[in-house]
Chains A and B, each alone.
Chain A
């Protein structure tokens, strides 16, 4: 029973990290109509950069947030400008970003090799720390990732519903031509949004660098988890993505406790199929934010 409760708690916390990994992809797909598979590589790249900086300069890995987030914002801006230049559409974005993903992943494999990498305990005190409520542990890196995801999902929801920028994003998502006719600089909106979503992916990378072991194949393995969350959450819906992340996290956590860790991808996929059959627009949405 306690094991199950721990499974659920871990699932919720891990779900926060999953959601953080998914928000960028969801925003870019929902609002910009660009399915950016390169995000998976961005997350891992950010994790490797944090690892490299922390090990080289012997600094606290969490401080690296200040470095990678602006860096990846710029990367997102550059990628979006490139997409604009080549006039990409939703369908082409799949192939092109798949190519980008392969390039980034091979580069990472060349630089950091296929070995397992992790930040040593002398630099990374967070990995082993946990809060306890009763006998149930709340590991610190996952808790931090969950809170960050909560803040970002809530923040994006506020921005989308309460600010002019949010209104502009929604207008661009609905009809870029018409938004432009009403004076929305759709290119600038797209560039900022792409920068933001890449920065969110970079944040996810920081928590992965702090919380777990890294290897190049990881980027591919995430796919089976992140894509169901994006669909279940509804495209461009940040709160929905967080909810979906928690659901998938709990389902994977509980199934790991009951049937072993390898059953998690199967359970996740079944949830995805159910979502596609019954709620193809997303869990929470009457109509998606975007």
Chain B
């Protein structure tokens, strides 16, 4: 069985299990909160994974996630509440409009040959402010008053509100991760990686860099907007300041840096860990400190981990499994926490910390850790002798 078939079967199993989770929650009479917690995770998985398709694969750093997300939120808000569309027809439009915004941006910035990645990054940061000011100016979009989305009718077959949001976010998250995987495992993916490594060389070797970058940016924006469309319901009251702020780009960057930007699973792992942690911090009444911790984590992780936690977890799967389930069983048995989510948070933090241990410490444990280089390293010739 090829690895792609295996992965797709894995997708199917995860989809089935998570798809029936609401029924399980009802039969076991677990708190409704678990459902909300899960769809918050789905939301961030989709945001982080779609961001990583552009930034992780192609190396073009984007702060534009908030802008694409915001376009999606406002598309649903305006079309459903102000224009009277049904939610189910407006939702695809959220993705399409966001995707078009991305492509339009790409058409300008990717055409400028000398535009460096850094300038691309800052342009994407500026775009959220522009969209916010357009939304504020235009009474057909917002006009500064905000939009109530609480009364929006949802199709009956999706079930009651929380279950409907759960199902929609689950489907979109699965589609996003699937898209991230399929691109990763295709010619486009290889093309994007070559752009990340050295764009001029890639172009010289015949990689259609412009087209691949546009595909990555369009996919990123499409899924960010689609999920934004669902989130318009969850927000209840859509305001410019809540939508076009720095939160979404900040979190997707942190999640992907933590999980790892080189692999399609990295952002998924990062999203699960960060969402769990922030949820626990908030419920512990540390919402004020939360943002400071997030900023500090971003600084430390950006400097300390090059390949992210996920790649390390795969390499040291045994240590990961032992730490995670060991700590989970320990805190469960000790009964420190009321909530199951807190137990998971402890286990995740422990695992991440173990994974962040430097290689030197791992080597002292023995066993096959890091293959020794097959050829003895040749010392670099001195720069001066070479030029002289």
Query: Is A91 within 8 A of B125, CB to CB?
Result: no
Dominant SS at the B interface?
helix
Report if A106-B292 is in contact (Cβ < 8 Å); known contacts: A91-B118, A94-B121, A266-B134.
yes
Interface residue B114 (Cβ < 8 Å from any Cβ of A):
yes
A-B contact count (CB 8 A): 108
Query: Is A269 within 8 A of B117, CB to CB?
Result: no
Interface residue A1 (Cβ < 8 Å from any Cβ of B):
no
12 new A-B contacts at CB < 8 Å, known A100-B299, A109-B288, A260-B137: A94-B61, A96-B302, A99-B295, A99-B297, A103-B292, A106-B288, A106-B292, A223-B125, A269-B129, A269-B130, A276-B119, A280-B114
List, sorted by A's number, 26 A–B pairs whose CB atoms are closer than 8 Å. A92-B302, A94-B61, A95-B253, A95-B257, A95-B298, A96-B303, A99-B295, A99-B298, A99-B299, A102-B291, A102-B294, A103-B292, A106-B288, A107-B292, A220-B246, A223-B129, A224-B126, A224-B130, A227-B125, A265-B133, A266-B134, A269-B129, A272-B123, A276-B115, A280-B115, A281-B114
Interface residue A56 (Cβ < 8 Å from any Cβ of B):
no
A75→B108 CA distance, assembly (Å): 38
- Choose from A91, A92, A101, A263 the contact partner of B137 (Cβ within 8 Å): A263
Residue of B nearest to A181 (CB): B384
0/1 string, A72-96, CB within 8 A of B gives 1: 0000000000000010101110111
Report if A91-B61 is in contact (Cβ < 8 Å); known contacts: A263-B133, A265-B129.
yes
0/1 string, A130-159, CB within 8 A of B gives 1: 000000000000000000000000000000
A contact residues around B109 at 8 Å (CB): 276
A contact residues around B134 at 8 Å (CB): 266
Interface residues of A in 195-244 (CB under 8 A from B): 217, 220-221, 223-224, 227-228, 231
Residue of A nearest to B109 (CB): A276
Interface residue B15 (Cβ < 8 Å from any Cβ of A):
no
Smallest Cβ distance from B320 to chain A, in angstroms?
25
A contact residues around B129 at 8 Å (CB): 221, 223-224, 265, 269
Interface residue B234 (Cβ < 8 Å from any Cβ of A):
no
A223→B129 CA distance, assembly (Å): 8
Report if A100-B295 is in contact (Cβ < 8 Å); known contacts: A35-B118, A94-B61, A227-B122.
yes
A52→B130 CA distance, assembly (Å): 32
A281→B302 CA distance, assembly (Å): 29
Residues of A at the B interface (CB closer than 8 Å) are 35, 86, 88, 90-92, 94-96, 98-103, 105-107, 109-110, 217, 220-221, 223-224, 227-228, 231, 260, 262-266, 269, 272-273, 276-277, 280-281
A contact residues around B121 at 8 Å (CB): 94
Smallest Cβ distance from A182 to chain B, in angstroms?
13
Interface residue B79 (Cβ < 8 Å from any Cβ of A):
no
Residues of B at the A interface (CB closer than 8 Å) are 61, 108-109, 111-112, 114-115, 117-119, 121-123, 125-127, 129-130, 132-134, 136-137, 241, 245-246, 250, 253, 257, 288, 291-292, 294-299, 302-303
**Smallest CB-CB A-B distances: 6 pairs:** A102-B295, A99-B298, A224-B129, A103-B295, A99-B299, A265-B133
A contact residues around B295 at 8 Å (CB): 99-103, 106
Query: Is A99 within 8 A of B296, CB to CB?
Result: yes
- Choose from B111, B132, B288, B303 the contact partner of A92 (Cβ within 8 Å): B303
A144→B126 CA distance, assembly (Å): 28
A224→B132 CA distance, assembly (Å): 11
Smallest Cβ distance from A218 to chain B, in angstroms?
13
Smallest Cβ distance from B195 to chain A, in angstroms?
14
B contact residues around A101 at 8 Å (CB): 295
- Choose from A103, A228, A276 the contact partner of B108 (Cβ within 8 Å): A276
Smallest Cβ distance from B127 to chain A, in angstroms?
8
Query: Is B253 within 8 A of A98, CB to CB?
Result: yes
Smallest Cβ distance from B280 to chain A, in angstroms?
18
Smallest Cβ distance from A270 to chain B, in angstroms?
9
Query: Is A266 within 8 A of B130, CB to CB?
Result: yes
